[in-house]
Amino acid sequence: MSRVLKPTKLSQGKRQFASDNYAGVCPEAWASIAKANAGHVRSYGDDEWTAKASDLIRELFETRCEIFFVFNGTAANSLALASMCQSYHSILCHDTAHVESDECGAPEFFSNGTKVLTIAGENGKMDPADVERVVTKRDDIHYPKPRVVSLTQATELGTVYGVAEIKAIWSVAKKHGLSMHMDGARFANAVASLNVAPKEITWQAGIDVLCFGGTKNGTAVGDAVVFFNPKLAEEFDYRCKQAGQLASKMRFLSAPWVGMLQDGAWLRHARHANAVAEYLEQGIRGLPEIKILFPRQANAVFAELPRKVIDGLWERGWMFYNFIGKGGCRLMCAWDTADSDVDDFVADLKSLLKRK
Ligand X SMILES: Cc1ncc(COP(=O)(O)O)c(C=O)c1O
Q: Which is nearer to ligand X, 89 or 98 (CB)?
A: 98
Judged by CB under 6 A, the stretch of 42-50, 70-78, 128-136, 142-150 that binds ligand X is 70-78
Among 73, 158, 312, 325, binds ligand X (CB under 6 A): 73
In angstroms, how far is CA 80 from the centroid of its own chain?
14
Smallest gap, in angstroms, from Cβ of residue 77 to ligand X? Answer: 6
What is the C-alpha separation between 144 and 115, in angstroms, rounded? 7
Smallest gap, in angstroms, from Cβ of residue 73 to ligand X? Answer: 2
In angstroms, how far is CA 8 from the centroid of its own chain?
28
CB pairs under 8 A, 24+ apart, for 87-90?
A: 87/111, 87/112, 87/113, 87/114, 88/114, 88/144, 88/145, 89/114, 89/115, 89/144, 89/145, 89/146, 89/147, 89/148, 90/114, 90/115, 90/116, 90/117, 90/143, 90/144, 90/145, 90/146, 90/147, 90/148
Contact 193, 222 (CB under 8 A): no
Interaction of residue 74 with ligand X, rule CB under 6 A: yes
Residue type present at position 311: D
Judged by CB under 6 A, the stretch of 73-81, 187-195, 314-322, 325-333 that binds ligand X is 73-81
Smallest gap, in angstroms, from Cβ of residue 309 to ligand X? Answer: 25
**Is residue 347 left, alpha or beta, with left meaning phi > 0 and alpha meaning psi from -120 to 50?**
alpha
Smallest gap, in angstroms, from Cβ of residue 134 to ligand X? Answer: 21
Interaction of residue 16 with ligand X, rule CB under 6 A: no
Rounded (10°) angle between helices 251-262 and 265-284 = 70
Smallest gap, in angstroms, from Cβ of residue 239 to ligand X? Answer: 16
The CA-atom distances, in angstroms, between 355 and each of 293, 306, 311, 351 are 23, 11, 12, 7
Smallest gap, in angstroms, from Cβ of residue 176 to ligand X? Answer: 25
Half-sphere exposure of 25 (CA within 13 A, CB side): 19
Longest dimension (CA), the chain: 64
Smallest gap, in angstroms, from Cβ of residue 187 to ligand X? Answer: 10
Residues 185-214 binding ligand X (CB under 6 A) are: 185
Q: How many CB atoms lie within 10 A of CB 226?
A: 30
Interaction of residue 98 with ligand X, rule CB under 6 A: yes
Q: Which is nearer to ligand X, 152 or 337 (CB)?
A: 152
Q: Which is nearer to ligand X, 29 or 185 (CB)?
A: 185
Site size toward ligand X (CB under 6 A) is: 10
Residues 117-156 binding ligand X (CB under 6 A) are: 152, 156
Q: Which is nearer to ligand X, 63 or 72 (CB)?
A: 72
Smallest gap, in angstroms, from Cβ of residue 182 to ligand X? Answer: 10
Q: Which is nearer to ligand X, 274 or 349 (CB)?
A: 274
Smallest gap, in angstroms, from Cβ of residue 343 to ligand X? Answer: 26
Q: Which is nearer to ligand X, 185 or 352 (CB)?
A: 185
Residues 236-265 binding ligand X (CB under 6 A) are: none
Q: Which residue minimizes CB distance to ligand X? A: 73
In terms of DSSP H, where are the helices of 208-355? 236-242, 251-262, 265-284, 307-315, 339-354
Among 8, 63, 72, 262, binds ligand X (CB under 6 A): 72
The CA-atom distances, in angstroms, between 77 and each of 99, 165, 211 are 7, 21, 6
Residue numbers of the site for ligand X (CB under 6 A)?
72-74, 77, 98, 152, 156, 183, 185, 215
